[in-house]
Structure 1
Amino acid sequence: MTPKHTEDAPPPPKKKQRAHPPLTIGWREYVSLPELGLNDFTAKIDTGALTTALHATDIRTYTADNGNVWVQFRPPDLGHEAPEICHARVSDHRKVKNSGGVSEPRYFIRTNLRVEQRVFLVEISLTDRGELKYPMIIGRTALRGHGLVVDCGHSWLTRPKPKKNRSKE
């Protein structure tokens, strides 16, 4: 039985309404980082990971004219048109435990992430993921609050993976 509102008691809080219906995504999806010029590449969606990480090498920091610290890095080779070097403002520098449980210092940037037609700001750590299959892992902090539901039993729910050309030439 729901208690009735009286003048002495404040009304119950209203449930926050979603701006759009949930979007179901698989454990692998095509994503883009449009501000970095990195478009349509595969990312692993990992709700077990707290943070989001992007493969980056040759990471160097510099101070811009306005005093802000920026980072330049070599992004993953996506096999299609992508910049050789990316630049982004550093949002943080802190230690993160990698998949092996080893704590390592990482630079973090904030940039827009596009999944399907949804675009939202995320924080991304830069690290060498060269030995891993996916150039980017998207953790639960980036997913939270954007109406994304992960179906861990499926992949490529937002856009089918292109079929390999099996013709013999």
Structure 2
Amino acid sequence: MEKHTVGWREVVSLPELDITGIPAKIDTGARTSSLHAVNIDLFDRDGEEVARFDLDFGAGKAYRHCEAIRVAHRTITSSNGTAEERLIVKTVLSMGAHTFRAEFSLADRSDMVFPMLVGRTALKNRYLVNPGRSFLISNREDAKEEFL
């Protein structure tokens, strides 16, 4: 598979959640990708554990009820060194010409600039990262206003 080069920020989509135009930070320092989520709840559907959560990006911004298959609970250490137990879900991620399943930890990222981080597990064997550039496989104009 040909590896495409991405910048330190790109615009991505989560097709299974019907969300497009999300500005994402490409973060090789993070193992697991992370998605801003609030009101996280687990329930059983046909013997499969499903996570229900809301994507809430603040006053006048995107608000979406979502559901995704729960994969695991993991202890994630944040950039400030704090470890916390987080729910991990798996959904389809679309970045440039690639669409693939990726795992995301659900966390309240309301105090962060980007509602999503794409970590190195999702990047591995697919992309090279140029930390000095932005929007190499996407256009900044594709970022939906409700996420900015």
TM-score, normalised to structure 2's length?
0.88
Query: Counterpart of 1:167?
Result: none
Which of 87, 95, 119 is the aligned partner of 1:115? 95
TM-score, normalised to structure 1's length?
0.78
Q: CA deviation at 1:83?
A: 6.1
- Considering fraction of residues, name the structure with more helix: 2
Query: What pairs up with 1:129-168 in 2 under 5 angstroms?
Result: 129-146=109-126, 148-162=127-141
Distance across 1 between alignment mates of 2:13 and 2:139:
15
Distance across 2 between alignment mates of 1:159 and 1:139:
17
> Which residue identity is paired with 1:109?
V
Distance across 2 between alignment mates of 1:141 and 1:76:
25
Query: Counterpart of 1:25?
Result: 6
Q: CA deviation at 1:160?
A: 2.9
Which of 67, 70, 73 is the aligned partner of 2:53? 73
Which of the pair has more CA radius of gyration? 1
SS of equivalent to 2:141: coil
Identity %: 38
Query: What pairs up with 1:8-47 in 2 under 5 angstroms?
Result: 19=1, 21-47=2-28
Distance across 2 between alignment mates of 1:83 and 1:77:
7
Query: Counterpart of 2:38?
Result: 57
> Which residue identity is paired with 1:29?
E
How many pairs align?
141
Structure 1, unpaired ranges of 5+: 1-18, 164-169
Which of 96, 100, 114 is the aligned partner of 2:80? 100
Distance across 2 between alignment mates of 1:109 and 1:55:
12
Runs of 4+ in 1 over 4 A off after TM superposition: none
Q: CA deviation at 1:97?
A: 0.8
- Is the contact between residue 93 and residue 106 of structure 1 (CA under 8 Å) also seen in structure 2? yes
* Higher RCO (Cα < 8 Å, 6 or more apart): 2
Q: CA deviation at 1:162?
A: 2.6
Distance across 1 between alignment mates of 2:102 and 2:92:
6
- Considering fraction of residues, name the structure with more strand: 2
Question: Alpha-carbon deviations, 1:72-102, whole Å to 9, x = none?
Answer: 101143977x662000110111211112111
SS of equivalent to 1:63: strand
